[in-house]
Amino acid sequence: MTEYANNVRSFIAENFLFRADADIADDQSLLDSGVMDSTGVLELIAHLESTYGITVADEEIVPANLDSVARITAYLSSKAAAA
């Protein structure tokens, strides 16, 4: 597991599931499974921006980028590669 995946999984487990040992599959839809709602997405974005020094543009706030640990990890990797 990458640093991105570990960090994202920990953030989600501690802030939305309220336990550090929560089991979240890499491809689990965080929105469809009710782990996060729209407010949770905004909290996640704030965390990603402050942790990784990135800016998430409005047009990037889509499920293709932010709906699972795997998608968030791929998104962060692409942002790092573009920087």
Which pLDDT value is given to residue 19?
Answer: 74
Rounded Cα–Cα distance for residues 73 and 69 (Å)? 6
Segment 15-66, tens digit of pLDDT: 998 876 678 899 999 999 999 999 999 999 999 999 999 999 999 999 999 9
Which pLDDT value is given to residue 1?
Answer: 53
CATH code of the domain made up of 3-82: 1.10.1200.10
Which pLDDT value is given to residue 20?
Answer: 66
Domain ranges of the chain: 3-82
Segment 63-78, tens digit of pLDDT: 999 999 999 999 999 9
pTM of the model: 0.91
Question: CB within 8 A of 15, min separation 6: which ones?
Answer: 40, 43, 47
Rounded Cα–Cα distance for residues 72 and 19 (Å)? 20
